[in-house]
């Protein structure tokens, strides 16, 4: 397993691998870019088939965090933690304590928070070992509701560009994944009058979404192919791939998941298919905006709301320029990201 010749290595500043025998911890922390500030991005706790898969995830997700944080003009760089979930029994607290020591060893070049499979309670465990942690319950808390708010606002911007109106009444949305972000997004959409089709692997959350939000439930392998206006991937990455794209009928693809396009070339296929894609790291920045608000301190909800307004403006610029310049929305987002990543700050 190589790092420097790995296809997803993108000039990362550091890639750390950690092992703790007592707790069984196996983790990667990838620091992609710290021009704007200490690298920040959540920690993912997930079952990976191989450590190579976990490394790939860390490399790709940390790069996306650099672009996400730069596009949102935050005072943080891009990084990501990935913990490989063990197959059998394990002591969760011991594992997150060991991970907290790993974060501490990276000495402030990386600040962690929640991502898939990790809760604010885990952040409390990490906090026993290091100060380089955000998303704590007694400060900004779970960033997911803010992510959902940003994605909801972003879907409205996309609707305006695709259909000339951001009204959700009469519109239909397929939400893939009803976790921390997906469920909160589904609530926003239902409250605004959209009809929902949903899928998840968790039956309890499907029941709740059906009874509380009147959503129609479909199989996980059919959600992308629903005849809807918007497809909102809110589970894991790669929802838009060579196999799924031909059956995606939605005009708009806009959701919370990181790395929604399985490969970069999918951006061109999506555009050629006449679909409007909201680049994931632009539309899903709400959570990290909330984390940055906590790191800046004291936490100011007004500042967060202002940043979400900026998120809408950036997305509007991405869609407008992509249409005028005849390029993909991803190309415009990358261009904006590259320019803002180059804005160095002397934070060390
Ligand atoms: N939490 C945040 O603030 C935040 C911020 C930015 C991006 N994201 C991204 O948004 C996505 C969701 O994050 P989350 O915090 O809600 O995670 P989560 O773990 O709470 O939710 C993920 C949900 O997806 C479901 N799921 C898993 N596999 C599925 C499948 N094949 N089909 C349908 N559903 C499936 C799970 O059962 C779960 O309900 C992730 O990609 C994450 O990286 C989250």
Q: Whose CA is nearest to atom 28 of ligand 1?
A: 235
Ligand 1 center to 179 CA (angstroms) = 5
CA pair distance 294, 277, nearest whole angstrom: 30
Ligand 1 atom at shortest distance from the alpha carbon of 236: 41
Percent of the chain whose pLDDT exceeds 90: 89
Q: Mind telling me the catalytic residues?
A: 80
Give the tens place of pLDDT for each residue, 240-272.
999 999 999 999 999 999 889 999 999 999 999
Residue 136 above 90 pLDDT?
no
Phi-psi map region of 297: left, alpha, beta (phi>0 left; psi -120 to 50 alpha): left
Give the architecture (CATH level 2) of 14-127: 3-Layer(aba) Sandwich (3.40)
β-strand partners of 240: 261
Q: How confident is the model at residue 152 (pLDDT cuts 50, 70, 90)?
A: very high
The DSSP call for residue 38 is S
Give the tens place of pLDDT for each residue, 194-229.
999 999 999 999 999 999 999 999 999 999 999 999
Ligand 1 center to 115 CA (angstroms) = 8
Ligand 1 center to 14 CA (angstroms) = 26
β-strand partners of 258: none
Q: What is the 3-state secondary structure (H, E, C) of 228-254?
A: CCEEEECCCCCCECCCCHHHCCCCEEC
Percent of the chain whose pLDDT exceeds 70: 100
Domain 14-127 and domain 144-285+314-338, same fold? Reply is yes
pLDDT given at position 219: 98
Q: How confident is the model at residue 142 (pLDDT cuts 50, 70, 90)?
A: confident
pLDDT given at position 79: 97
Ligand 1 atom at shortest distance from the alpha carbon of 201: 37
Which residues form the pocket of ligand 1, taking CB atoms under 6 Å from any ligand atom? 114-117, 143-144, 147, 176-182, 199-202, 205, 220, 234-236, 256-258, 284, 287
For the chain, which residues make up each domain, given as ranges? 14-127, 144-285+314-338
CA pair distance 298, 84, nearest whole angstrom: 33
Any idea which of 293-297, 312-316, 336-340 has the lowest mean pLDDT?
Answer: 293-297
Fold held by 144-285+314-338: Rossmann fold (3.40.50)
pLDDT given at position 150: 98
Ligand 1 center to 177 CA (angstroms) = 6
Supply angle C-alpha 142, 80, 344, rounded to 5.
105
Ligand 1 atom at shortest distance from the alpha carbon of 148: 3
Q: What is the separation of C-alpha 57 from the centre of its chain, rounded to a whole number of angstroms?
A: 12
Q: Whose CA is nearest to atom 10 of ligand 1?
A: 257
Residue from 42, 116, 145 whose mutation best tests the ligand 1 pocket (most atoms within 8 A of CB) = 116
**Which stretches of 50-179 are assigned E, i.e. beta strand?**
77-84, 110-111, 172-176
b/e per residue 135-150 (b: at least 16 CB within 10 A): bbeebbbbbbbbbbbb
Q: Which residue in 74, 86, 70, 71 sits closest to 26, CA to CA? A: 86
Average pLDDT for 318-333? 98
Q: How confident is the model at residue 116 (pLDDT cuts 50, 70, 90)?
A: confident
Are the CB atoms for 28 and 43 separated by under 8 Å?
A: no
Supply angle C-alpha 216, 221, 224, rounded to 5.
65
Residue 117 above 80 pLDDT?
yes
Axis crossing angle, helix 301-325 with helix 144-163, rounded to the nearest 10: 30
pLDDT given at position 345: 80
Give the tens place of pLDDT for each residue, 35-94.
999 999 999 999 999 999 999 999 999 999 999 999 999 999 999 999 999 999 999 999
Average pLDDT for 296-324? 96
Are the CB atoms for 275 and 250 separated by under 8 Å?
A: yes
pLDDT given at position 132: 96
Residue 1 above 80 pLDDT?
no
Report the predicted TM-score, pTM, of the whole model to 2 decimal places. 0.91
pLDDT given at position 341: 93
Ligand 1 atom at shortest distance from the alpha carbon of 147: 3
- Determine which helix (DSSP H) or strand (DSSP E) holds 44, and give its type and residue range: strand 43-46
CB count within 10 Å of CB 117 equals 15
Q: Whose CA is nearest to atom 2 of ligand 1?
A: 144
pLDDT given at position 347: 78
CA pair distance 268, 285, nearest whole angstrom: 23
């Amino acid at each position: 397993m190589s790092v420097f010749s790995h296809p997803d290595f993108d000039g990362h500043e550091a890639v750390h691998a950690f092992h703790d025998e007592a707790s069984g911890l196996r983790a990667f922390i990838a620091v992609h870019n710290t021009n704007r500030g200490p690298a920040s991005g959540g920690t993912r706790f997930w079952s990976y088939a191989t450590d190579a898969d976990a490394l790939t995830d860390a490399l790709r997700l940390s790069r996306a965090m650099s672009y996400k944080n730069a596009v949102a003009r935050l005072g943080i760089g891009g990084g990501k933690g990935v913990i490989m979930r063990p197959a059998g029994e394990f002591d969760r607290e011991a594992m997150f304590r060991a991970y907290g020591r790993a974060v501490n060893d990276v000495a402030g070049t990386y600040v962690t928070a929640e991502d898939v499979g990790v809760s604010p309670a885990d952040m409390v465990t990490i906090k026993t070992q290091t100060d380089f942690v955000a998303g704590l319950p007694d400060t900004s808390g779970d960033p997911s509701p803010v992510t959902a708010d940003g994605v909801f606002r972003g879907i409205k911007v996309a609707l305006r560009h695709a259909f000339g109106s951001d009204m959700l009444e009469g519109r239909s949305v397929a939400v893939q994944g009803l976790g921390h972000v997906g469920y909160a997004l589904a609530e926003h959409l239902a409250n605004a009058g959209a009809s929902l089709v949903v899928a998840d692997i968790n039956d309890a959350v499907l029941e709740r979404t059906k009874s509380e939000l009147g959503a129609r439930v479909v199989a996980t392998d059919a959600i992308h192919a629903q005849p809807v206006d918007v497809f909102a991937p809110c589970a894991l990455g790669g929802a838009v791939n060579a196999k799924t794209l031909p059956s995606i009928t939605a005009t708009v693809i806009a959701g919370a998941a990181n790395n929604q396009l399985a490969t970069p070339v999918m951006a061109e296929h999506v555009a050629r298919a006449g679909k409007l894609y909201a680049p994931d790291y632009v539309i899903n920045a709400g959570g990290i905006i909330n984390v940055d608000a906590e790191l800046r301190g004291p936490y100011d909800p007004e500042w967060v709301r202002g940043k979400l307004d900026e998120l809408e403006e950036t997305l509007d610029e991405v869609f407008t320029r992509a249409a005028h310049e005849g390029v993909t929305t991803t190309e415009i987002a990358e261009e904006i990201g590259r320019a803002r990543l180059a804005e160095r700050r002397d934070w060390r």
